[in-house]
Amino acid sequence: MTAPQHARVAVIDIGKTNAKVVVLDGATGAEIAVRRTPNRVIAAAPYPHYDVEALWKFILSALAEFARAPGFDAISITTHGASAALLDAQGRLALPVLDYEFEYPGAVREAYDRLRPDFAQTCSPRLSGGLNLGAQLHFQKSLYPDLFGRVATILTYPQYWAFRLTGVAANEVTSLGCHTDLWSPGQGRYSTLIDKLGIGPLMAPVRSAFDVLGPVQPEVRAAIGLDTAVPVYCGIHDSNASLLPHLVGRQPPFSVVSTGTWVVCFAVGSDPLGLDPVRDTLSNVDAFARPVPSARFMGGREFQMLTQGAAEPSPQAVELAARAVIAKAVMVLPNAVDGSGPFQGCEGRWIGEPSSDAERIAAVSLYVAMMTVTCLDLVKAAGPIVVEGPMSRNRVFLAALASITGRDVMIDAEGGVSGTALGAAMLAGVRPQAGHPAVISPLFDVTSHVGRWRAALASDL
């Protein structure tokens, strides 16, 4: 076995809800140390935006701590999508990094709809707020022309943090290809929207996620307390970071269900033809610049909202409650969060009433499973299903997924590091040891429950 490229890799992992810095073992991919913080949105002028300076302070503090122990000799980055940093000629933010959940005025939305390319070119559906990154850029350019006039460089979000570490500006295809309207996956190049927005000269060069952009620049190195030059890798969109370990270790066809704030379903080996923009199916672009049919909904956010205030019973209690929920036909219909997913425009509601916290959690777990299966079906997923992220610890969700699909549903039996951090570390040469996947048993029959759920949903459509 060859020696790892790096002994330890520090990963900056910024999700929509939380951010963390993780140190992974270069030989195994095992998590050695981690620090976490909320990802705060500032609800202030000129528009809701991320508190990037608080994140930067957190990143420097965590890296400084980890530089002392356990140490690291490379840095990689992964962040949520639908975000860009607009820099002035001095490398400072010309405009704040816009929160993608912010909704724009109707006139701005209508003007953007006349600009954006056809789905056939971008495989990017029209989404709410700023989930289409092109819509953010159009909003910023239209409503803040003076500030936008100062923009010298546009960077995708993982690469913004790489820029702050290295001073080297870049863009990268996994972030450009995640429903931005800015990228044409079939052509492997920018879409016509770049010219319509007039931002071609502002876009930083496109680099591979695997590229080393440079060492940590001297002033940052001093702030962290690094004794040696540490390389910084270009970075990757978080859902594609979750996908990367499976692309390296499996043969298609298979599916990956990446869970967090979003539940993103990747159908590796599926045909991208026939995607439906109305159902929030799209083509993501993987770390090797290849299109991957995908579908998603805000499953983690919905789970959190629908179970808010519920006590956390034991897994065994939730499994027993799931049988009661199925017997009583207690269920949730979409959506708790509108604006994305396969049933946009539907107004969520309960059918029946859970009689305990365990029943509420069970019913919501079944709901997330049925929504996930809907997404998998829409992208013609085939083969085994690999689940990673927080929902991989939800036994009712997993068992329902196995029951409904009739396919192998697998998780990491050892509950290892999250796929986002591991995928980002793989950019730096980390090649994790073969895991020990556990195949999930169905546990209970969900067929009747799914039938009732689909019938009730059809009456709402």
Separation of alpha carbons 372 and 257, rounded Å:
8
| pLDDT at residue 431 in the model | 86
What are the start-end ranges of the E strands in 188-303? Answer: 189-190, 212-215, 231-233, 236-237, 254-259, 263-268, 281-285, 291-297
CA dihedral 14, 70, 220, 422 (to 10 degrees): -30
Find the distance separating the first CA and the last CA of the chain, reported in whole Å. Answer: 56
Burial of 451 (0-12, 13-18, 19+ CB in 10 A): exposed
Separation of alpha carbons 370 and 444, rounded Å:
14
Orientation of helix 133-143 relative to helix 106-115, angle to 10° = 120
User: 3-class secondary structure for 111-132?
Assistant: HHHHHCCCHHHHCCCCCCCCCC
In DSSP notation, 17-68 reads: SEEEEEEEETTT--EEEEEEEE--EE--TTS-EE-HHHHHHHHHHHHHHHHH
CA dihedral 113, 116, 121, 122 (to 10 degrees): -100
| pLDDT at residue 155 in the model | 98
Separation of alpha carbons 93 and 148, rounded Å:
10
Please answer whether residues 172 and 212 qualify as being in contact, where contact means their C-beta atoms are separated by less than 8 angstroms: no
Tens-digit pLDDT string for the chain (461 aa): 466 789 999 999 999 999 999 999 999 999 999 999 999 999 999 999 999 999 999 999 999 999 999 999 999 999 999 999 999 999 999 999 999 999 999 999 999 999 999 999 999 999 999 999 999 999 999 999 999 999 999 999 999 999 999 999 999 999 999 999 999 999 999 999 999 999 999 999 999 999 999 999 999 999 999 999 999 999 999 989 989 999 987 899 999 999 989 999 999 999 888 899 999 999 999 999 999 999 999 999 999 999 999 999 999 999 999 999 999 999 999 999 988 899 998 999 999 999 999 999 999 999 999 999 999 999 999 999 999 889 999 999 999 999 999 999 999 866 555 689 999 999 999 988 766 789 999 989 999 999 999 999 998 87
Separation of alpha carbons 292 and 299, rounded Å:
20
Separation of alpha carbons 38 and 15, rounded Å:
9
Q: What is the pTM of this model?
A: 0.89
CATH number, domain 239-460, options 3.20.20.10, 3.30.930.10, 3.30.420.40, 3.90.1010.10: 3.30.420.40
CATH of domain 8-234: 3.30.420.40
- Find the angle CA(316)-CA(318)-CA(323) to the nearest 5 degrees: 100
Hey, what amino acid is at 94?
A: A
427 Cβ neighbours under 8 A, 6+ residues apart = 76, 209, 210, 233, 234, 235, 236, 244, 287
Separation of alpha carbons 300 and 440, rounded Å:
20
| pLDDT at residue 455 in the model | 97
Same topology between domain 8-234 and domain 239-460: yes
Closest to 202 measured CA to CA, from 267, 140, 256, 248? 140
User: Could you give the C-alpha distances from 131 to 81, 242, 256, 442, 458, in angstroms and in order?
Assistant: 8, 19, 21, 35, 27
| pLDDT at residue 271 in the model | 85
Residue 378: other Cβ atoms inside 10 A = 20
| pLDDT at residue 191 in the model | 98
| pLDDT at residue 413 in the model | 64
Report domain extents, the chain. Answer: 8-234, 239-460
Separation of alpha carbons 1 and 400, rounded Å:
39
Please answer whether residues 363 and 354 qualify as being in contact, where contact means their C-beta atoms are separated by less than 8 angstroms: yes
